[in-house]
Amino acid sequence: MRPFTYERPTDVAAAVRAVAATPGAKFLAGGTNLLDLMKLDIEQPTHLVDVNRLPLSGIEDTPQGGLRIGSMVSNSHLAADARVRSRYAVLTQAIVSGGSGQLRNKATTGGNLLQRTRCAYFYDPSKPCNKRQPGSGCSAMEGLNRNSAILGASDACIATNPSDMAVALTALGASLEAVTADGATRTLAVADLHRLPGDTPHLETNLAAGDLITAVILPPAPPGGQIYRKARDRASYAGGLASVAVVGHQVAFGAVAHKPWRAEKTEAALAAGASALEAAHAELAGAHDNGKNGFKIALVARMTADALEQASQGRGA
Amino acid sequence: MSSVKDWAAPNPVTENRGGIIGKGVDRYEGKLKVTGTAAYAYEVEPPSPPAYGYLLAATIAKGRITAIDTAAAEASPGVKLVWTHLNVPKQARRGERINPRSQRPSNPALAGDRIEFFGQPVAFVAADTWENARAAANLIQVSYAAEPAVLDFRASLELAEMPHGEEDVLIGDFEGAYAKAPAQIDETYFSPLQNHVQMEPCATTAWWEGDKVTVHTSIQMVKGGQHSLAETLAIPSEKVHLLTRYIGGGFGGKGQAYDDLVLAALGAQALGQPVKLAYTRQQMFQATIHRPAVSMRVRLGAEPDGRLNAFAVEAVTHCARSAPFVEHAANFSRNLYAAPNRLTGHRLVKMDIPHAGAMRAPGEAPGMLSLECAMDELAEKLGIDPIELRLRNEPDVDPETGKPFSIRQLTECLNTGAQRFGWNRRNPKPGQVRDGRWLVGMGMAAAIRGNFLLPAKAGVRIDGTGIITLRQGMTDIGTGTYTILAQITAETMGVTMDQVKIELGDSEFPPAPGSGGQFGAATAGSAAFEANMNLRRALAELAIGDPNSPLYGGDPTYVTFGNGNIAIENRSESLATLVSRAAPEGVYVEGAISPAADARDYSQHTYGGHFAEVGVDTVTGEVRMRRMFGVFAAGRILNAKTAKSQVTGGMIWGVGTALTEANVVDNRYGSFINQDMSGYLVPTHADIVDLDAIFLDEADDKANPMGIKGVGELGICGAGAAVANAIYNACGVRLRDFPMTPDKVLEGLMAKGL
């Protein structure tokens, strides 16, 4: 077998040091994605630093009126938190639309942000994939790409980010805190966490090697309705064909790009008085159809227009 | 040979409609399964520590292995052996048979350098752990010379040819009648390639004692597996002891042996230690059989009153070039609706993808998706209710053969279902019922599936404690076979369930054909019934001939069994008392069943009606089930709970067929895009909100002595069509391309300006 070592520190500094000290080390949180990828020999860590004993499982009110969510808060706990449900309904809706109950019990806030694409070719080591093996090619580009990106993709990769939670966080304008390898704390907008694929689709985030996400910070909820709408092939436990998060006048798309997609052009068009449908199309003007994924363009437009209309009436989904 | 008339004679089962048969008895092996103590093939503890195998699969669709480098794998930690086609032990050539009465020919693994499909095993590694075997297998370097392959079914329909030995069935003058028909439907429907997705993968644990091999394997047919392995190893059948006690789903996909069986056996022989070998989840998708895609052209010519005058159902399907298989998707239509002028037949495209094969209700499952939607289209065209259209085409005798029906309650199924479901609340005009952003609609479809009885035996033994043990080389693939055999034995022998033991899945037990074609319960159950009847006779003779028995000297025709006793009127003793005294070593008898000589004089089927209500999201095109109800007529029901579980499971599969389940070949590689359960979507609990089924009271005295029939496949037949028809009724989008995913529904909604 491919051997790896394992440790389970109890404080953040030790965890960060442990990963920094070992080339090829990775943090292990819920393991709902990493362990699957290790079994398929796609992720090949030499050392696992289990962060489940770190004191990062609290949800606290911030002085600004938002929430500070520890990165080890499980998806189930976060979705069920009374403050989240009352003030950030879009986040609860997004989380419970992802995975299954069992997965959400294990999956963590930090881990959810770092899950990898569900592109079928990424999970099939018999096929070329620039994300899995840089330079080998993209099998999805000319292949069965019904689930692929329509926004912001490159010639190297048309994979999507599969997170539902991150789409809601992006619409909410959330940020995250990470502890770097040298022990410093850095802050980053969730919208800036993920990268577009460009020529380096194997590099998925703007975190540096060894950075550990310790918290997600929610700003005070803006006024207006909140809605998360996800279209999928079956009613549960299925990746999104597309999703839309609306928070007042803030809009983000999911399952359409390599990152949760803040729809700034839609927001600007709305501010300029466009109709909901026109505003949705403003963001989608540059969307691309690789053969099987083109339906997502109309799907996102319709979902966005509908969600904006519902939110403007102060309704949830 | 018996006649169906013999079966009509009264017997202890048919005379008693209030006994244990028919009750919703809990599963015989349920506690073992829910406590994790039922040992499946891979989990069976061998007599000594095993080695663990792993298969490496081909990554081209068609061609030849030009080089294969195993040096790194052989040097990898823990590796015990590495086999390719260059060094695998000698096996019999494919298709050879040496043993008399062998049911299956040789099926060698790693048999040559030819690659016939993506995923074909090309190397086998055994090591001290599964992880080490896998790591070593991934170090093997294989070079291929790829050849042009036929991979795209829809682009290859012009390659379709008449299947070997078949011809179209032509009755009357279809073309002439169709041309003159006042109302015509001519549509082509497409159903995709599907995978079985059994929870338990194919797996074998094997070990040798001398020249005899013991294999615990996951297979639906005990004798088929035993004979296949014996032929492949070129040894007598009795040198293979095959066991398959618990099976985590088969659905037709485990009707045959795969390479795990022969390589585990050969590996155990070479290593002198037990070997375990299982397919991975990905290999289950890529390298076992699948249900082939079907393109079905349906033409219906009807009078204004709905009566069909011309009827044609023509299927084009596919199979692997080297493994002929015909998905007989048109066959069901030969027995369903009356029409004097008929044309049915099949064409086959030979392709370079994995083997097509049987999957739950082969033929009906994809086939009924077409005709049952076409009938909905005809009903709308004529302005006739879809149920009424079917009633107007109800035949008096089999529409193709003219034979009488053994019993046919299709109209009762449809009428009962309509009433229970509230069909009269359906608005025949589509797109009229709104619920927020949802459009809501109802659809229905008929169900038909043939009923079969195959030759089978069973053995039954009673010991001195009164425990009755039934043994049969039968399988329980999760359907409830253990349970119904226990019920039949308890009822026939007049004892309680806890006095009965059932032992199945062993090649050294009296043979039964296994699970498939929904023939299992009727076939195995009838053999068990006959064995128990023979035991009754043996015990009656024992008691009457024993001077110490209160029944001594009595008339055997008046002997009864009940409450654990054997009796003649008020003279009785317990079975345990009788046996412990008069036959302390116990009494063992066998029984057998075979088809009646005149069984083919009747058209014999199971029937049903499906009713579905769906919501269509007008924004996204998502379809969600709201309600589904099925009414079935399938002979006498042995167990209300397991039988209902079978038909509702089939209905749920129909929901999956209508909405999500499909695999697609990537035409560049010959592989399937979906190779795990997050890509291949079967329904979840959330997809099945309100689903129920009932059985009509029935006993088919032409079927077998107990009047029972199969239920395992009936539930899926037509179920997907009912959902598709409900989608049309909800939103007016008529799709003919399964599954009806949001992208297709959305395109239809937008085309309608919605």
- Residue B231 forms part of a structural domain: yes
Question: Are residues A166 and A45 located together in one domain of the fold?
Answer: no
Residue to substitute from A115, A126, A313, interface B, most B β-carbons within 10 A: A126
Rounded CA separation B414/B431 (Å): 24
Candidate from A144, A229, A241 with C-beta closest to B742: A241
Task: Say if strands A242-247 and B169-171 run parallel, antiparallel, or are unpaired.
Answer: unpaired
pLDDT digits (tens, 9 = 90+) for B565-615: 999 999 999 999 999 999 999 999 999 999 999 999 999 999 999 999 999
Residue to substitute from B746, B749, B752, B754, interface A, most A β-carbons within 10 A: B746
Q: Inter-axis angle of helices B222-233 and B259-271, to 10 degrees?
A: 50
Question: Are residues A10 and A107 located together in one domain of the fold?
Answer: no
Q: How many CA atoms lie within 13 A of B754 on its CB side?
A: 22
Question: Are residues B19 and B51 located together in one domain of the fold?
Answer: no
**Domain limits at B570?**
4-38+457-594
Is A295 in Cβ contact with B746 (below 8 Å)? Answer: yes
Question: Are residues A92 and A23 located together in one domain of the fold?
Answer: no
The mean pLDDT value for B332-360 works out to: 98
- Residue B154 forms part of a structural domain: no
Shortest distance between the Cα of B67 and any Cα of chain A, in A, equals 18
Q: Residue B349: which residues within 8 A CB-CB, separation 6 or more?
A: B150, B153, B156, B157, B159, B160, B161, B316, B317, B318, B319
The mean pLDDT value for A267-284 works out to: 97
The pLDDT of residue A316 is 55
Question: Are residues B211 and B75 located together in one domain of the fold?
Answer: yes
Q: Is the dihedral of CA B245, B249, B255, B260 positive or negative?
A: negative
pLDDT at B2 over 90: no
Residue A256's alpha-carbon distances to A146, A148, A151, A269, B744, in angstroms, are: 11, 7, 6, 20, 18
CATH code of residue B52:
3.30.365.10
Chain A residue with CA closest to B667: the answer is: A143
Instruction: Let me know the angle formed at the C-alpha of B707 by B701 and B713, rounded to the nearest 5 degrees.
Output: 120
**Domain limits at A46?**
5-50
Question: Are residues A22 and A102 located together in one domain of the fold?
Answer: no
Question: Are residues A90 and A235 located together in one domain of the fold?
Answer: yes
Instruction: Locate the DSSP E strands across B279-427.
Output: 294-302, 308-320, 341-351
Question: Are residues A66 and A33 located together in one domain of the fold?
Answer: no
Residue B345's alpha-carbon distances to A270, B86, B192, B357, in angstroms, are: 59, 43, 19, 18
Shortest distance between the Cα of A40 and any Cα of chain B, in A, equals 10
Question: Are residues B58 and B136 located together in one domain of the fold?
Answer: yes
Q: Does A274 touch chain B (CB under 8 A)?
A: no
Last residue of one domain, picked from the residues B224, B252, B287:
B287
Banded model confidence at residue B20, pLDDT cuts 50, 70, 90: very high
- Residue B216 forms part of a structural domain: yes
Question: Are residues A190 and A289 located together in one domain of the fold?
Answer: yes
Largest CA distance in chain A: 60
The pLDDT of residue B49 is 98
Q: Does A2 touch chain B (CB under 8 A)?
A: yes
Per the structure block, which two tokens stand in for B657?
A: 């067929």
Backbone angles phi, psi at B521, to 5 degrees: -65, -45
pLDDT digits (tens, 9 = 90+) for B227-282: 999 999 999 999 999 999 999 999 999 999 999 999 999 999 999 999 999 999 99
Question: Are residues B10 and B70 located together in one domain of the fold?
Answer: no
Question: Are residues B15 and B128 located together in one domain of the fold?
Answer: no
| Tally of CB atoms within 10 A around B708 | 30
pLDDT digits (tens, 9 = 90+) for A56-67: 999 999 999 999
Average pLDDT, chain B: 97
Q: What percent of chain A has pLDDT over 70?
A: 99
Residue pairs spanning A and B at CB distance below 8 A: 90
pLDDT digits (tens, 9 = 90+) for A97-106: 999 999 999 9
Residue to substitute from B622, B674, B682, interface A, most A β-carbons within 10 A: B622
Average pLDDT, chain A: 96
**Residue linked to tokens 């994995």:** B354
The pLDDT of residue B629 is 98
- Exposed / middle / buried, residue B34 (Cβ in 10 Å: 0-12, 13-18, 19+): exposed
Is A239 in Cβ contact with B686 (below 8 Å)? Answer: no
pLDDT at A315 over 80: no
Using a CB-CB distance cutoff of 8 angstroms, which residues of chain A are in contact with residue B624? 235
Last residue of one domain, picked from the residues B594, B627, B643:
B594
- Which residues of B are catalytic, by number? 713
pLDDT digits (tens, 9 = 90+) for A140-194: 999 999 999 999 999 999 999 999 999 999 999 999 999 999 999 999 999 999 9
Rounded CA separation B477/B248 (Å): 6
Banded model confidence at residue A317, pLDDT cuts 50, 70, 90: very low
Question: Are residues B524 and B536 located together in one domain of the fold?
Answer: yes
Question: Are residues B587 and B527 located together in one domain of the fold?
Answer: yes
The pLDDT of residue B218 is 98
Per the structure block, which two tokens stand in for A287?
A: 């969307």
Shortest distance between the Cα of B671 and any Cα of chain A, in A, equals 10
Q: Quote the number of domains for chain B.
A: 2
The mean pLDDT value for B353-368 works out to: 98
The b/e string for B480-517 (b: 16+ C-beta within 10 A; e otherwise) is: bbbbbbbbbbbbbbbbebebbbbbbbbbebbbbbbbbb
- Residue A269 forms part of a structural domain: yes
The pLDDT of residue A123 is 96
- Exposed / middle / buried, residue B297 (Cβ in 10 Å: 0-12, 13-18, 19+): middle
The mean pLDDT value for B497-502 works out to: 97
pLDDT at B1 over 90: no
Nearest to A39 by CA among A119, A98, A123: A123
pLDDT at A198 over 70: yes
Question: Are residues A104 and A196 located together in one domain of the fold?
Answer: yes
Listed range (B8-12, B637-641, B657-661) with the worst mean pLDDT: B8-12
Candidate from B437, B671, B746 with C-beta closest to A299: B746
Using a CB-CB distance cutoff of 8 angstroms, which residues of chain B are in contact with residue A117? none
Is A1 in Cβ contact with B132 (below 8 Å)? Answer: yes
Nearest to B619 by CA among A94, A256, A309: A309
Last residue of one domain, picked from the residues B229, B252, B287:
B287
Shortest distance between the Cα of B130 and any Cα of chain A, in A, equals 8
- Residue B293 forms part of a structural domain: no
Last residue of one domain, picked from the residues A33, A50, A67:
A50
pLDDT digits (tens, 9 = 90+) for B81-120: 999 999 999 999 999 999 999 999 999 999 999 999 999 9
Question: Are residues A24 and A104 located together in one domain of the fold?
Answer: no
Q: Quote the number of domains for chain A.
A: 2
pLDDT at A93 over 80: yes
Question: Are residues A16 and A103 located together in one domain of the fold?
Answer: no
The mean pLDDT value for A204-228 works out to: 96
- Residue A133 forms part of a structural domain: no
- Residue A179 forms part of a structural domain: yes
Q: Mind giving me the DSSP string for B506-534?
A: BTTSPB---S-TT-HHHHHHHHHHHHHHH
What's the ipTM?
0.97
CATH code of residue A35:
3.30.43.10
Rounded CA separation A230/B94 (Å): 51
What share of residues in chain B are helix, strand, coil (percent, to 5)? 30, 25, 45
The pLDDT of residue B226 is 98
Rounded CA separation B298/B340 (Å): 16
- Residue B108 forms part of a structural domain: yes
Question: Are residues A45 and A86 located together in one domain of the fold?
Answer: no
Question: Are residues A110 and A254 located together in one domain of the fold?
Answer: yes
